[in-house]
């Protein structure tokens, strides 16, 4: 006799859920939302927040530089140097954004439902970031020059903790993981990372760490072109320091090899990260909050597009976003 009320309750909950879903859908349709231009995560979020909520979104324009086609142009195929090709690519990317973004930016700056201070233009891809209400996002989705809109990516790093390691058993040692990947075979062929630079986009690095201090690119260049913050250090524990050590770590005093590319230099780009376990945001004022800022900086760290010696050969990103698995387009 206890099942009848339960069935009624389940039916009531089901009815409310269906009604709520269609009510949200009607509201979104009333705003002329073009759902096909939105990521699924953003579409669902628009239905789940009050009307005055501002959503941080990334807007991708249809007019993008076709890198593959650009590389096949005669002037690019015949480029005489890396510097020449790098300068041409940066110019092409910046020109694409400069031509196609101004009208959209003017519209955004004068529109209602937009946090005007949040608008940020990028050229590494032809995209614009901003915070806006659902009503304006609906307008964006209908714009003929807009290709795709998604929630602004929030970077995540897992909990990480380190413990004090025992002293190396010998004056010359390597981390066991290096034998597992057969690093010695590469070293015998001369592949030690010499002459290369690795950019670590992470929580920052302790530059005076025994395994990192001699490989810091700042030892050979300016801080502004080797580290993406005026404050050098690991801002969120030691995750970034550990990642850099895994890539290029070498304690030369103890002759303790940690990274396979121990002769490479490392560069740092600390960013804001969310811990998916606790939800806490790790961020220090003065550092960039997004991977877009860091990637764009990586194409031209010294601010001179005619140089290439400042550009990293490898960019390491040991983080992710748990909400993007179904957002690939």
SS3 call for 279: coil
Q: What gap in Å lies between CA 216 and CA 14, rounded to an integer?
A: 59
CATH number of 173-316: 3.40.50.200
> Does domain 29-151 bear CATH number 3.40.640.10?
no
Asked if 229 and 204 count as a contact pair (C-beta separation under 8 A), the reply is yes
**Does the structure show a pLDDT above 70 at 146?**
yes
Q: What gap in Å lies between CA 78 and CA 23, rounded to an integer?
A: 59
pLDDT of 203 reads: 85
pLDDT tens, residue by residue, 3-26: 333 333 433 433 344 334 444 444
pLDDT of 161 reads: 55
Beta bridge partners of 197: 265
More confident call, 211 vs 328: 211
pLDDT tens, residue by residue, 260-272: 999 999 999 988 7
Per-residue confidence band for 322, with pLDDT thresholds at 50, 70 and 90: low
When pLDDT is averaged across residues 252-257 and rounded to a whole number, the result is 82
Structure tokens at 238: 């030691």
Burial of 277 (0-12, 13-18, 19+ CB in 10 A): exposed
pLDDT of 297 reads: 95
**Does the structure show a pLDDT above 70 at 46?**
yes
When pLDDT is averaged across residues 287-301 and rounded to a whole number, the result is 85
Asked if 270 and 240 count as a contact pair (C-beta separation under 8 A), the reply is yes
- For residue 105, what are the contacts with CB-CB under 8 A and spacing of at least 6? 119, 121, 128
Provide the percentage of residues in the chain whose pLDDT is more than 90. 61
Give how far Cα 97 sits from Cα of 118, 130, 295, 323, Å: 18, 16, 16, 28
pLDDT tens, residue by residue, 51-101: 999 999 999 999 999 999 999 999 998 888 888 999 999 999 999 999 999
Question: Phi and psi of 47, rounded to 5°?
Answer: -85, -10
pLDDT of 4 reads: 33
pLDDT of 163 reads: 47
**Does the structure show a pLDDT above 90 at 299?**
yes
pTM of the entire structure?
A: 0.81
Beta bridge partners of 60: 127, 148
- The overall average pLDDT reported for the chain is 83
When pLDDT is averaged across residues 126-150 and rounded to a whole number, the result is 97
Asked if 128 and 59 count as a contact pair (C-beta separation under 8 A), the reply is yes
- Positions of E strands within the chain: 55-61, 114-122, 127-132, 146-151, 173-174, 197-202, 250-251, 256-257, 265-270, 273-274, 281-282, 314-316
Q: Where are the domains of the chain?
A: 29-151, 173-316
Beta bridge partners of 269: 201
Which of 56, 52, 53 has its CA nearest to residue 39? 56
Provide the percentage of residues in the chain whose pLDDT is more than 70. 79
**Does the structure show a pLDDT above 90 at 238?**
no
Structure tokens at 104: 């959209």
């Amino acid at each position: 006799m206890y099942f009848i009320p339960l069935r009624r309750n389940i039916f009531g909950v089901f009815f409310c859920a269906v009604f709520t879903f269609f009510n949200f859908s009607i509201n979104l349709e009333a705003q002329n939302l073009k759902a096909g231009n939105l990521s699924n995560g953003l579409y669902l979020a628009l239905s789940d927040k009050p009307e005055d909520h501002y959503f941080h979104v990334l807007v991708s324009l249809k007019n993008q530089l076709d890198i593959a086609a650009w590389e096949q142009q005669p002037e690019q195929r015949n480029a005489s140097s890396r510097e020449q090709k790098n300068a041409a690519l940066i110019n092409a990317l910046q020109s694409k954004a400069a031509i196609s973004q101004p009208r959209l930016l003017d519209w955004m700056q004068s529109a209602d439902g937009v946090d005007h201070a949040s608008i940020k233009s990028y050229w590494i891809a032809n995209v614009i970031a901003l915070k806006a209400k659902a009503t304006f996002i609906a307008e964006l989705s209908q714009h003929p020059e807009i290709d795709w809109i998604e929630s602004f990516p929030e970077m995540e790093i897992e909990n990480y903790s380190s413990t004090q390691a025992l002293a190396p058993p010998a004056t010359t040692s390597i981390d066991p993981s290096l034998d597992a990947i057969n690093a010695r075979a590469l070293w015998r062929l001369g592949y030690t990372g010499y002459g290369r630079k690795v950019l670590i986009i992470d929580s920052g690095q302790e530059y005076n760490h025994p395994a990192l201090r001699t490989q810091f690119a700042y030892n050979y260049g300016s801080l502004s072109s080797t580290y993406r913050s005026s404050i050098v250090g690991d801002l969120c524990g030691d995750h970034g320091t550990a990642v850099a050590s895994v890539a290029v770590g070498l304690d030369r005093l103890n002759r303790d090899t940690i990274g396979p590319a121990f002769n490479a230099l490392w560069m740092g780009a600390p960013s804001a990260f969310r811990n998916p376990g606790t939800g806490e945001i790790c961020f220090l004022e003065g550092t960039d909050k997004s991977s877009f800022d860091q990637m764009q900086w990586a194409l031209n760290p010294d601010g001179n597009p005619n140089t290439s010696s400042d550009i990293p050969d490898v960019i390491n990103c040991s983080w992710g976003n748990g909400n993007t698995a179904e957002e690939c387009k």
